[in-house]
């Protein structure tokens, strides 16, 4: 929600075009797709698991693209495609997303699943006026947190929460971590604690 709010704050509106969500199968990506779709944006989901297309379209993604299209080192500027983006991946993916963001667009960076490095050019910033908005959830102001939770409660519907969230017992956590690292988990996993 904080990433969506950053796009809104920077003036990205649905009429400006597609919004890309990287790491689409993860928790951040899944929620971002659902939220952006409810707000009227046309969302393009970026994933390394094309077999999850039905899931992503069920959350509202209008299009699904394979991560191979943006995950390798790219050019300083690419064809303008995105009005905005929410990036949970970082590294080469973030650099390529920036390079293909439209004039005046905004990219909210909130993750580093691919890596902490950013081999990018200043070209998108000085030639296209692209904004890179860093999303911090650790030191975020209390008022921003309250507003984000209020908006989540307003925008998400129970069916979306059910689709995005799964629960496991504490005894299953180690196996779930292995699945997570192997890229077999989608959405958010809640560990329930037996009393």
What does the block give as tokens for 188?
Answer: 């958010």
Q: Which CATH number do you get for residue 89?
A: 3.40.50.720
Nearest to 5 by CA among 136, 163, 94: 136
Q: Has residue 175 been placed in a domain?
A: no
CA geometry: angle 32, 34, 39, nearest 5 deg: 90
pLDDT tens per residue across span 116-156: 999 999 999 999 999 999 999 899 999 999 999 999 999 99
Q: Has residue 148 been placed in a domain?
A: no
Prediction pTM value:
0.93
CA separation for the pair 156, 151 (Å, rounded): 8
Going residue by residue through the chain, which has 195 residues, state the pLDDT in tens, using 9 for 90 and above.
999 999 999 999 999 999 999 999 999 999 999 999 999 999 999 999 999 999 999 999 999 999 999 999 999 999 999 999 999 999 999 999 999 999 999 999 999 999 999 999 999 999 999 999 999 989 999 999 999 999 999 999 999 899 999 999 999 999 998 888 888 889 999 999 876
Q: Has residue 152 been placed in a domain?
A: no
Q: Has residue 161 been placed in a domain?
A: no
Q: Has residue 179 been placed in a domain?
A: no
Query: What is the predicted pLDDT for the residue at 10?
Result: 97
The residue behind tokens 């790491």 is: 23
> How much is the CA Rg of the chain, to the nearest whole Å?
17
Q: Has residue 95 been placed in a domain?
A: yes
- Count structural domains, the chain: 1
Q: End-to-end alpha-carbon separation of the chain, Å?
A: 32
Q: Has residue 178 been placed in a domain?
A: no
CA separation for the pair 25, 28 (Å, rounded): 8
Residue 143: is it exposed, middle or buried by C-beta count within 10 angstroms (0-12/13-18/19+)? exposed
CA separation for the pair 190, 13 (Å, rounded): 33
Q: Has residue 78 been placed in a domain?
A: yes
Q: Which domain holds residue 78?
A: 2-134
């Amino acid at each position: 929600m904080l990433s969506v709010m950053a796009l809104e704050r920077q003036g990205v509106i649905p009429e400006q075009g597609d919004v890309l969500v990287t790491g689409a199968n993860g928790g951040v990506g899944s929620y971002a797709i659902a939220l952006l779709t409810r707000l009227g944006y046309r969302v393009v989901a970026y994933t390394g698991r094309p077999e999850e297309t039905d899931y992503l379209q069920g959350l509202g993604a209008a299009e699904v693209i394979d991560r191979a299209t943006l995950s390798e080192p790219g050019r300083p500027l690419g064809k303008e495609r995105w009005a905005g983006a929410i990036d949970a991946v970082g590294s080469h993916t973030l650099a390529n997303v920036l390079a293909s963001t439209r004039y005046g667009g905004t990219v909210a960076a909130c993750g580093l699943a691919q890596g902490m490095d950013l081999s990018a050019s200043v070209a998108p910033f000085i030639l296209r006026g692209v904004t890179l908005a860093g999303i911090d959830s650790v030191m975020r102001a209390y008022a921003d947190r309250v507003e984000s939770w209020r908006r989540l409660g307003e925008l998400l519907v129970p069916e979306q929460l059910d689709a995005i969230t799964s629960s496991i017992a504490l005894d299953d956590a180690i196996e779930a971590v292995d699945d997570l690292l192997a890229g077999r988990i989608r959405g958010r996993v809640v560990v329930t604690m037996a009393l």
